[in-house]
Every structure is written in structure tokens, then in C-alpha cells.
Chains A and B, each alone.
Chain A
Amino acid sequence: MKTNFILIAAALALTGCSQPSTEVEGTSREVNVFSARHYRSDASIYAAFTELTGIDVNLIEANGDQLIERVRADGDRSPADVLITVDAARLHRAEQAGLFAATDYSDLVPSIAPHLIDPDQYWVSFTLRARVIAFSADRVEAGEISTYEDLADPRWAGRICIRESGNAYNQSLLASIVARSGEDAAEAWAAGIVANMARPPQGGDRDQIKGIAAGICDVAVVNHYYYAMLANSAQEADREAAAASVLFFPNQESSGAHINVSGAGIAANAPHPEEARELIAFLFSQDAQRLIVEMNNELPVVADAEWDNPTLQAMLPFQEDARNVSELGDHNETAQRIFDRVGWQ
């Protein structure tokens, strides 16, 4: 069994490899990022950051909840400097788990709208995505639908495509309705949607748009950038699908379109807090915001950022929901339970 021991020793040696560094060395600075985003734009942003500041970015991209679990388990040994999540509810959960260190973000990024910053200053949002409605160009008249609440109306029975309830964006949408109208009304709304579904939830947002093109449904709820991605896709089938539907931003007369955010915060036990601040600040730079908009079709949070994206340009301006996005996290659990109760798969 000697071979076994050699192998085990080798495996243990591997533990030594890839160890996250927790020391600040004189010559090379670095920052450890745990991110739930996985876009090519982010790689470009980090590369630009490193080029500008000389700080190396060590990255782990993983599902938001799993990141939270890992950082929490590592406790004060956690090497995380910056935590980035792709939706508001996860930010909230990370905050609840005590993973963030409070930082004066209003000072760090003064131009950001207050509803995008955590009231307790644990985190800040650096991109926006709007969850909006797409309807069939042929089968639905413009103006026939204008609010989220309308979707629950029986006249849309069998005509709605929407993805599954496990998706964070749907959960936040429902959470915003809970915040706005209360739990009972939100449950009634969700039940109405379920009754109106053209098919059991399947696939992602782009599949819902394709569902409209295929004639399976007339209305879909999607994040705005998926629409833009289809419209700009290299595959002709995608572009045709996008062309078959029309996008609009609901609730413009009332609460504003529902928005969700990607947010970042400095980790509570960050070994490189200075570098973390620099990275977060960089996310709001002109370069970073432009990359986000042009490569991902997300919406910027910096009002005077310059970017070039015709598809996105055509969607603007719109009224956004001005409730602090931290409320999306507050009501996330309620939303999930509602989904469970109404049987939204």
C-alpha cells in the first residue's frame, strides 16, 4: 500500500498549491474576488483594472448561494476581499450572513442613486437589469398590456411564457410586488400567472422570447438584456425570434419598471481591504461601465457614462422602480414561499 501513501501525500501537496494568498507582498498587490457573475465583460474589466493599478485579480466565479456558503464557512479565515452577486436578493443574504464590512459608499461613489446603495452601507450596485415584458409583434397590440399586474388577468390565459420560480430574477420580481402590494395581493398575482401559463416553465428568458416567435405564447417576462442579446446574435434564428416580439417597460405610469442589480461589497475579513476599495471604485469608472453596457447589454448606474449600444439606446429612457433594492432581499423568502404555495414550478 505504499503507492497509496504516495498518492495521498501528493494530494495533500496539492492543498498547498493554489493557496489564496493572505499576505500583502511588497511587489505584487492582489485582490481576491468571489463573483456570481460570469460574463466576458468582467474578465475585460478585471484585466483593465490590473493594467491600470497593477493589482492582480484572483477570481472565483460560482453560484451566488454557494459562494455565500463557502465564505461563511471559512469565517475569519476567508480570503475573500470582494463579493459580487448578480442579483439583489443574494446581496441581502450575504449581508444577513455578516459577510460584508460596512463602507461609506456614498463617499466612494457619490454619483450613484441612493436606492441602489444598501441603507446600511454594506454594498453598492454597479449594473442594472430591468425585468420587462415582451409581446408578440403580430398577435398583440401595443398598449394592450401595460402593467405587471395585468399579466394575472384571465384574458391572458394560456398566453404567457415565463421561466421557473427558482430563478432569482422572478423571485425578485415577486418580491417587489410583495413590497408594493403586500403578500396576499402578490400571492393572488402569482396564482393568476400560473393559471395563464402557456406551458410549464422551461428554459431561460431567451427561450421565452423564442416561445413567442414559435407561436406558443403571446407574452413573456424577460430581462431586457436577453432580448438585446437575441437581437444582436450571430445566429439568424435568434435575430428572427427577437424581431417577432416587441419589448416594453411596464408600470411606467405607476411604480416604474422592476429593476434588479449586480452588486459588490467589501468582505468582512478582507485581507486586502485597500485593494478591494480600489476595485469597487473601478467598477463605476467610465471604462468599466462602458464594457458592461456594450458587451452585456446591461444598464449602467453611472448616469453620465458614455457608451455605444444602439439596441439599448432604443429602449431608453424608462422609469425605474425607485424602491431601495435591498427590499428585494427582504422579501425574497416570502416570495419563494408564495411560489411554492401557488405551484409555480
Chain B
Amino acid sequence: MAITSTQSLNKKGALNATPFAILAALICAAPILAVGWIALTGDTGDYLEHLARTRLPTYLVNSAQVAVFAALGTGLLGTTLGWLIARTEFFGRKTMSWVLILPLAVPAYVAAYAWLDLSTAGGPLQAVTFGLFPTIRGSWGAGLMFTFVLYPYVYLLARDAFSSQSADAFDAARTLGASPLRAFFQTSLPMARPAIAAGLALVMMESLADYGAVSHLGAPTLSIGLIRAWSGAGSLIDAARLSLVLVVIALLIFGLERAQRRRARSVTGSGKHRPAPRTDLKPASALAALSLCLLPLILGLVAPMARLGWLALKEPIAAGLVQASYHSLTLAIISALIAAALGLSTAYALRTKTRIATIAARAAGLGYAVPGAVAAVGVIAILSGIQGMIDPAWTSLTGEPFPILLTGGAAALIFAYLSRFAAAAIGPSESALSRVTPTLDGAARTLGATPLQTARRVHWPLMIAGITSAGLLVFVEVLKELPATMILRPFNYDTLAVIAHAYAADERLGEAAMPSLLIVLIAILPMIFVARYLSRDLSGASQS
């Protein structure tokens, strides 16, 4: 299904979204670039040197541990689940197929609040196990939390890869003497590798950029060090420099993922093939499979929600939750719509395969790897800079001060969100658009459709799943987002995430419980809808 030729795409008349896409991409990259500018041009203090002698190694080690634990956990869990759902049949499989996506609605910090509370000394789990149950904390604890809530990334991509693979390759391996296990490891898995790698890249970046969970669980990563450099040492410049380290790591991860994807351009195979049939599992295996599916749901969704619900019952409800819900929703919806449009246009631009489009798209994705606080800092820097230019000009023209404070409105926050989450929109859109081959374009055009009509009537139906998932990912991310929101939000404009964190950080977990629950409940509703949409049975045809 990959694009195998580019000839028809550059010609005049093709839908030319490139300039718009490039502009949008640059806007997304701007805050990160601003931070880079601050980092490179600011005064040099001795803080970084001091840090290098003291805490920097710890930060690096913890970041590496968290990212690796998360990658291992999500990789194993997501790949196994993806295979089970895509290629086997057991009781409850159809339901599990979409329910397994739901833990994406749980922010990592919410899972961390709940699990630390459950497993802390004097808490219920230790009481039941006479102190044997370990307290969930540190980098392994954080890695575990990320596994619980981020595995759906890998699961989704693996599932789709396994179900769209040529089943014949697996069968061929078996006729060549490979047992089902060997056939899986030597054919199906390598063929799904690009998809799985893309999922792992997302997981690693999210875990590196996280602030709430790692700070709560006591795993000082580079993100924490960055925030401490800023808020503790008061040095924005040093924080910006540490952000650069994160950006470099993100570039490395991105780069590796791209490189192996390029090498394996045709790893998924091309041409027509039979949809993969399902193996019916025997009752014992079916039970094991179902249990394996239920496990992450219980750990990542049910247990945290139950614990928080229990805590919330005993506490009075914090004020302002309805309004905060409204704010959270508004921000999330608007950001999702813009991000979907952004993802779509960038995907079109990437199709032209020009250098500048590729660079712009990669730059737009940088924001994913840095904490939201960094994006917020960049946004503040840019908007104040613009403000500083507009104000004098406006005043000299009209004699009045410029009426709008750029950093004061929700638009600044949405700017930060887009900068932060552009990658989540571009990736799925790009892969969805790649299903539209040039021959489809050609067919439509010879039938008289203009490029716009082609887009609407041919591309759109094929791509709608991908664009929807792009929009959804951004919706949920914005709903969960914490640090940038804390910094940039307007007056009297709290979101659920902000309220939850404020209480949790002050050890008032009972009062943090209700807003945390609300975040998950609000995120789950659209998540259910789209999870079902993404999991609908596309094969249609019965066995032949």
C-alpha cells in the first residue's frame, strides 16, 4: 500500500497544500525554535556546569530508564494484544478490539496518583499483602504507569499492521517448515516492525516529556531537571538549554524511526493479498487470551478509577468543576479540529516529497518530545516579542495602547497545544494518506474530477479514519495536558487537569480524585466512539 511512484503528484493541478502546510508547520515549530534561540544566545552562568557535576547524570539515567521501561512494556503488551486481536478468534474478541484502546483516556499522572496511593506504606495493597506489595515509584514505577496508559499506541498500530499483512507470508513460512511461533517471529513481526516502531517512538517521547507522573513518583528525569532549573534555580536560559537536550533526544528517536521506516519501505509488502484469516483458539487458550486483554484494562483503567472514586466519595466536591469541564472541552475540541486540518495539509504536502515539506513536517513534530512547559515558554517568548513590536507601532498610529494582550487569551494556549501535539496529528494523517495511491488519483482525474473533487470524493473516504484518529489523539492529549495549561491559561480559566494537579501536588488526593475522574470520563466518551470506528471490520469478504 505504500506510494511507489511520485510522478503524478508534482504536476500542476495536483492539490497544492504545500505552502499552507509549511507555514502551519513552521508555526508549530516556532516555540521550540524560540526556546532554542534563548538557549543559544543567553548568558552563560555556571549552573549547567554545577548540574553536570551533581544531578545531570541522574536525570539522564532516569530519563533513559523511564523511556526504556515504557518502550519494553508497551512493546510487549501492545504487540501481543495486537496479534491476538488481529489474527485469532476468541470469545469477546470483537469487544476487546476497541475496549483495549480506552486506557488512552487516562492521563499518566492520574494513574500515578491512584497507584501510589494504592501501593503506599499503610495503603490498601500493602495491608492486604502484609507489606509485601512494592510501592509503585521511581523510574520503574513510572515506566509501569506509562505502560498501562500508553500501550494503546502500540496496540493500535500493531493490530492494524498484523491484520493488513499478507497472510500468505505467514502461511509460506509454515510450508517452509516454520512452527507458528517461528513464523510469527520471523515473518509477521518483522513485517509489522515499522508500525510497531512508530508506536514505540510515540511512547518514548511521551514518557520523556511527561512531568506529572514522574514528579509524583519520584523519578527525576530530564524534564524534571528542566523545570527545576527554571523554577528552582530561576534560570530560564539553563532550562532552555536542558530542553535542547530533550529536543536532540527526540530528533534521535525520530531519526531512527524514520531511517528504519525508509529501509523497510516495502516491508509491509505491496500488491493484492488475501486478508489474514483468524485462528480459532481452543477454550484454554481463549480464556488466557481474554484474561490477557482484561489485565491492562483493569490495571490501567478500572483500578485507578475505582480508587479515585472511592477517595472522592469521602470528600466534598471541589468548586468550579463544571466550568472547568467546559473549559477543558472547549480547548480540546478547537485544538483537535485545527490539528486535524494541520495533519491533513501536512500529509498532502509530504506527498509531494519535496525537501522543504519534509523538513517542515519534522520540525512541526519537535514539540512532542519536550514538556509542555517548554512549549509554553516558547509561546510566551514569541508572543511577547510580537507584542513588543506591535505595541509601539500601534500606539504611534492610533495613540491608544494595543487592545489585545496576546498572551492573555486562550489562543496562546492553543498555540502551545498545537506546537506540542502537532506530531500526534501528522503521523496518522500521513499514514492514512499513504493508502491513497497515485493510480487512484489518476483514475479520478481521468473521470473528470478536479483536484479538490478528487480530494473530497476519493481521498476523503479513504482517509477519514486516519484523520479522525489524528483529531482524537490531539483531543485527548489536550484534555490531559497539564504544564502548558498551568502557565498559559487566562484568568479565571481553570481546566480539570489544572485543578486535579493542584490538589494532588498538595497531597489532597481526595479532592484531586473528582477532577481526575472527570478527565477520564470526558475523554472516554469520544474515545469509545472512535475506538469502535477504528476497529470496525473492514475485511467484509468471507473465506474463499
The reply, when asked whether chain A contacts chain B directly with Cβ atoms under 8 A, is yes
Identify the A interface with B (CB < 8 A). Answer: 1, 3-4, 7-8, 10-12, 14-20, 22, 32, 38, 40, 43, 58-66, 69-70, 73-75, 77, 79, 93, 164, 166, 171, 200-207, 210-211, 213-214, 216, 226, 234-235, 237, 241, 333, 336-337, 340-341, 343, 345
Max chain A C-beta neighbours (<10 A), residue from B122, B215, B507: B122
Residue of B nearest to A206 (CB): B507
Q: Looking at the assembled complex, report how far the CB atom of A141 sits from the nearest CB atom of chain B, in whole angstroms.
A: 23
In the assembled complex, 10 residue pairs joining A and B whose CB atoms fall closer than 8 Å, in A order, are A7-B341, A11-B411, A19-B405, A60-B492, A69-B487, A70-B407, A70-B487, A79-B405, A210-B120, A340-B50
Q: Looking at the assembled complex, report how far the CB atom of A326 sits from the nearest CB atom of chain B, in whole angstroms.
A: 16
Question: Known contacts being A43-B319, A63-B231, A214-B122, is A7 close to B337, with CB within 8 Å?
Answer: yes
A4-B341, A18-B493, A38-B502 given; 15 more Cβ-contact pairs under 8 Å:
A1-B341, A1-B345, A4-B345, A16-B404, A18-B490, A60-B491, A62-B489, A66-B487, A69-B487, A73-B380, A74-B384, A203-B120, A211-B121, A214-B121, A341-B53
Alpha-carbon distance between A234 and B510 when the two chains are bound, in angstroms: 10
Q: Looking at the assembled complex, report how far the CB atom of A74 sits from the nearest CB atom of chain B, in whole angstroms.
A: 6
Max chain B C-beta neighbours (<10 A), residue from A11, A15, A345: A15
Alpha-carbon distance between A201 and B137 when the two chains are bound, in angstroms: 11
CB of B338 within 8 A of CB of A4, answer yes
| Per-position 1/0 for B99-123, Cβ under 8 A of A | 0000000000000000010001110
CB of A1 within 8 A of CB of B17, answer yes
Question: Known contacts being A7-B337, A18-B491, is A235 close to B314, with CB within 8 Å?
Answer: yes
Q: Which B67-97 residues sit within 8 Å CB-CB of chain A?
A: none
Q: Which B6-51 residues sit within 8 Å CB-CB of chain A?
A: 17, 20, 24, 50-51
Question: Known contacts being A8-B338, A14-B409, A43-B319, is A32 close to B491, with CB within 8 Å?
Answer: yes
Residue from B345, B410, B502 in contact with A18 in the complex, judged by beta carbons closer than 8 Å: B410
CB of A11 within 8 A of CB of B414, answer yes
Contacts of A341 in B (CB 8 A): 53-54
Contacts of A203 in B (CB 8 A): 116, 120, 218, 507
CB of B137 within 8 A of CB of A19, answer no
Contacts of B54 in A (CB 8 A): 337, 340-341, 343
B412 at the binding interface (Cβ < 8 Å): yes
Closest 7 CB pairs of A and B: A65-B231, A15-B409, A15-B411, A214-B121, A18-B490, A340-B54, A204-B507
Residue from B137, B377, B407, B487 in contact with A202 in the complex, judged by beta carbons closer than 8 Å: B137
Max chain B C-beta neighbours (<10 A), residue from A43, A201, A210, A340: A340
Contacts of B494 in A (CB 8 A): 61
Alpha-carbon distance between A64 and B231 when the two chains are bound, in angstroms: 8
Residue from B217, B319, B409 in contact with A16 in the complex, judged by beta carbons closer than 8 Å: B409
Residue from A201, A216, A340, A345 in contact with B121 in the complex, judged by beta carbons closer than 8 Å: A216
CB of A213 within 8 A of CB of B122, answer yes
Question: Known contacts being A1-B341, A60-B489, is A77 close to B405, with CB within 8 Å?
Answer: yes
Residue from B220, B232, B408, B411 in contact with A336 in the complex, judged by beta carbons closer than 8 Å: B232
Alpha-carbon distance between A333 and B234 when the two chains are bound, in angstroms: 9
Q: Looking at the assembled complex, report how far the CB atom of B363 sits from the nearest CB atom of chain A, in whole angstroms.
A: 19
CB of B319 within 8 A of CB of A4, answer no
B287 at the binding interface (Cβ < 8 Å): no
CB of A3 within 8 A of CB of B341, answer yes
B520 at the binding interface (Cβ < 8 Å): no
CB of B407 within 8 A of CB of A73, answer yes
CB of B233 within 8 A of CB of A1, answer no
B381 at the binding interface (Cβ < 8 Å): yes
Residue of A nearest to B487 (CB): A66
Contacts of B319 in A (CB 8 A): 40, 43
Residue from A74, A75, A210, A333 in contact with B122 in the complex, judged by beta carbons closer than 8 Å: A210
B506 at the binding interface (Cβ < 8 Å): yes
CB of A14 within 8 A of CB of B410, answer yes
CB of A15 within 8 A of CB of B412, answer yes
B254 at the binding interface (Cβ < 8 Å): no
CB of B334 within 8 A of CB of A62, answer no
CB of A337 within 8 A of CB of B120, answer no
CB of B373 within 8 A of CB of A66, answer yes
CB of A70 within 8 A of CB of B334, answer no
Alpha-carbon distance between A59 and B342 when the two chains are bound, in angstroms: 33
Residue of B nearest to A62 (CB): B486
Residue from A7, A20, A64, A214 in contact with B491 in the complex, judged by beta carbons closer than 8 Å: A20
B236 at the binding interface (Cβ < 8 Å): yes
Alpha-carbon distance between A240 and B486 when the two chains are bound, in angstroms: 35
Max chain A C-beta neighbours (<10 A), residue from B234, B490, B498: B234
B315 at the binding interface (Cβ < 8 Å): yes
Residue of B nearest to A343 (CB): B54
Residue of B nearest to A201 (CB): B218
Alpha-carbon distance between A70 and B373 when the two chains are bound, in angstroms: 12
B257 at the binding interface (Cβ < 8 Å): no
Q: Looking at the assembled complex, report how far the CB atom of A77 sits from the nearest CB atom of chain B, in whole angstroms.
A: 6
B228 at the binding interface (Cβ < 8 Å): yes
Residue from A7, A63, A70 in contact with B380 in the complex, judged by beta carbons closer than 8 Å: A70
Alpha-carbon distance between A241 and B507 when the two chains are bound, in angstroms: 15
Contacts of A204 in B (CB 8 A): 505-507
Alpha-carbon distance between A74 and B387 when the two chains are bound, in angstroms: 9
Q: Which B497-516 residues sit within 8 Å CB-CB of chain A?
A: 498, 502-503, 505-507, 510
Contacts of A69 in B (CB 8 A): 230, 236, 377, 380, 487
Max chain A C-beta neighbours (<10 A), residue from B377, B498, B507: B507
Q: Looking at the assembled complex, report how far the CB atom of A56 sits from the nearest CB atom of chain B, in whole angstroms.
A: 10
CB of B20 within 8 A of CB of A164, answer no
CB of A15 within 8 A of CB of B410, answer yes
B449 at the binding interface (Cβ < 8 Å): no
Residue of A nearest to B415 (CB): A11
Question: Known contacts being A11-B414, A19-B408, A20-B405, is A73 close to B384, with CB within 8 Å?
Answer: yes
Q: Looking at the assembled complex, report how far the CB atom of A120 sits from the nearest CB atom of chain B, in whole angstroms.
A: 19
B160 at the binding interface (Cβ < 8 Å): no
Q: Looking at the assembled complex, report how far the CB atom of A70 sits from the nearest CB atom of chain B, in whole angstroms.
A: 6
CB of B220 within 8 A of CB of A345, answer yes
CB of A65 within 8 A of CB of B230, answer yes
Contacts of A235 in B (CB 8 A): 314, 510
Alpha-carbon distance between A43 and B406 when the two chains are bound, in angstroms: 28
Q: Looking at the assembled complex, report how far the CB atom of B324 sits from the nearest CB atom of chain A, in whole angstroms.
A: 12
CB of A18 within 8 A of CB of B384, answer no
Alpha-carbon distance between A227 and B192 when the two chains are bound, in angstroms: 54
CB of A14 within 8 A of CB of B414, answer yes
Alpha-carbon distance between A340 and B238 when the two chains are bound, in angstroms: 15
Q: Looking at the assembled complex, report how far the CB atom of A117 sits from the nearest CB atom of chain B, in whole angstroms.
A: 23
